[in-house]
Amino acid sequence: MRILLVEDDLMIGRSVQRGLMQDGMTVDWLTDGDAVERALQDHAFDALLLDLGLPGKSGLQIIRETRAQQNPLPILVITAQDAIEDRVAGLDAGADDYLTKPFDLNELAARLRALVRRASGRVDPHIEHGVLRLNPASHEVSLRDQPILLSAREFAVLHALLERPGHVLSRARLEEKLYGWGHGIESNAIEVHIHALRKKLGQSIIRNVRGVGYVVDKMLDNRA
């Protein structure tokens, strides 16, 4: 899950970024409203985490412009303004949810997961695929009820692929989901994670479409 965080307060931004990354999310952080539009055009995010009181372009303005471009990106607003009108204005402008400062890190992560899940059209927070079961909140993966130990990156790759079975994700897209800005990506990093996943879950779980990318097929092979 790749999140774009827009927060001008350095301490809050730093803590949110660290906290969400501990939850396995990839977090890119902007401190200025003016840079948001460009970032959304250039990179694929799963959700936008937006502080309303920003220098430069205001949070509300960013929401309106994003929705005006028909961008369905889930938007979670964090605001210090607890007046109901402010929250209503945020939601009416097109935000999906809001949190009032001071907020809890776990709640923030849970709300983000829920927003992304709803955006992908699922209701059940758990992702089940045949005998494979993935819990996005606890990062637990089980195969035939046997817990499987995955690294954070391996989990993120599997999560991204299971989010939309049958949909081929390019290597670049997977890298985007895994690595924020400023992280050096080794050229074969994705291949290493795929290799590890196949070793733990079975060779056939992830299929390679040569020249296109990777896919988890809609029906999982029971023999895997």
Partner 1 sequence: MRSMRNRLLLKILAALILGIALSSLGVYFMARREVNELFDQQLRQIADSLPSGSFNAAGAGLSLNEMRDEDFALQIFSHGGELVYSSNPRVSEVQRIASGFSTIATTHERWRIYAVQQPDRFVQVLQPTSVRSAHAAGAAWRVSIPLSLLLPGLALVIWLALRTELGALARLATAVRSRHSASLHAVSDLEFPSEIQPLIDSLNDLLRRLAQSLDLLRAFTADAAHELRTPLTAIRLQSQLAERADNNDDRRIAFADLHDGLARAAHLIDQLLTLARHEPELSASQLQRVDLHDLVTATVGERSAIAAQKNIDIGLIESPQLFVQGNAAALQILLGNLIDNAIRCSPVSGRINVVLYRVDQRCVIEIVDNGPGIPAADRERVFHRFYRRPGSAPGGSGLGLAIVRRIADQHAATIRLDDASIGSGLRVRIIFPEL
Which residues would be at the binding site for partner 1 (CB under 8 A)? 8-12, 14-16, 18-19, 22, 31-32, 55-56, 80-81, 101-106
Residue 143 or 152 having the CB closest to partner 1: 152
Closer residue to partner 1 (CB): 20 or 141: 20
Nearer to partner 1, 5 or 194 (CB): 5
Instruction: In angstroms, give the least distance from the CB of 74 to partner 1.
Output: 21
In angstroms, what is the minimal distance from the CB of 157 to partner 1? 23
Q: What is the DSSP letter of 169?
A: B
Closest separation in Å from C-beta 17 to partner 1 = 10
Q: What tokens appear for 99 in the block? A: 């949190």
Shortest separation between residue 166's beta carbon and partner 1, angstroms: 36
Task: From 20, 35, 29, select the one nearest 180 (Cα to Cα).
Answer: 29
CA angle, corner 72, sides to 70 and 78, nearest 5?
Answer: 115
Residue type, 6: V
C-beta of 14 vs 199, nearer to partner 1: 14
Q: Please name the residues in contact with 4: beta carbons below 8 A apart, sequence gap of 6 or more.
A: 27, 28, 30, 36, 39, 40, 43, 45, 47, 48, 49
Helices 152-163, 171-178: axis angle to 10 degrees equals 130
CA 185 to chain centre: 18
CB nearer to partner 1: give 136 or 213: 136
The residues near 177 (Cβ < 8 Å, ≥ 6 apart) are 1, 2, 26, 44, 46, 156, 157, 160
Closer residue to partner 1 in complex, CB, 82/186: 82
Q: What are phi and psi of 122, to 5 degrees?
A: -95, 155
The two three-digit tokens of residue 8, written as one number:
């001008």
**Quick check: bond before 72 cis, omega within 30?**
no
Shortest separation between residue 181's beta carbon and partner 1, angstroms: 19
Q: How far is the CB of 138 from partner 1 (least distance, A)?
A: 14
